[in-house]
Amino acid sequence: MTLDFFILRSALYFVIWILLVYFVTRFSYNHDKTGDDTMLARAKQISIVGLLLIFVTTTLASLDWIISLNPKWYSTIYFGIPFALLLTPGFRTDVRRLVTVASLILGMRLLGMFWVILPVYSPGISFNWMNFVLPLAFGELWVALYIWSLKRHHLLPINHPEWIEVERREFSEAEIIT
């Protein structure tokens, strides 16, 4: 693996991710403004392809970046077990189970980072305050950017046909009750 090819692949991952976010949000926000259902259809089409691209590119990017730190790295199956749980029927509708699996995945990812990345920089297992502060700081940064993004746009879709139908049904039920 050459450095130039590594940099090219990394740049390609970020370009794909940025373009996916740009186009899905652009079509979604345009649909909110205009109510044009073709915008919604385009956002859905991009989302379908985007989901596959995100899966493939995040997997390849994480492998590239971990292997670049430690050429003797090898993979394990620990992520496959929680992912398989998410595919079982009825599992995705139970909030407690989802929170448990999401916490398990996040915890295992952090442990995996410590296990793979730390020995590259220091022999043996050693923890310091930065091992805990950095993941929290990046998590807080992500939450802050997410909240900032939510303040700029509506949280719920404005002209989405399914959402309008839900509002109509709720209004009709409210009239029946009174």
Nearest one of 20, 38, 46 to 161, comparing CA atoms: 38
Nearest one of 19, 18, 42 to 31, comparing CA atoms: 42
CB neighbourhood size of 57 (10 A): 19
pTM of the model: 0.57
pLDDT of 12 reads 95
Distance of CA 147 to the CA centre of its chain: 15
* 71: pLDDT strictly greater than 70: no
* 178: pLDDT strictly greater than 60: no
Nearest one of 133, 122, 11 to 70, comparing CA atoms: 122
Mean pLDDT, rounded, for 102-110: 80
Mean pLDDT, rounded, for 33-58: 88
CA distance 11 to 162: 37
CA distance 115 to 121: 11
Q: Residue ranges of the domains in the chain?
A: 1-73, 76-126, 130-178
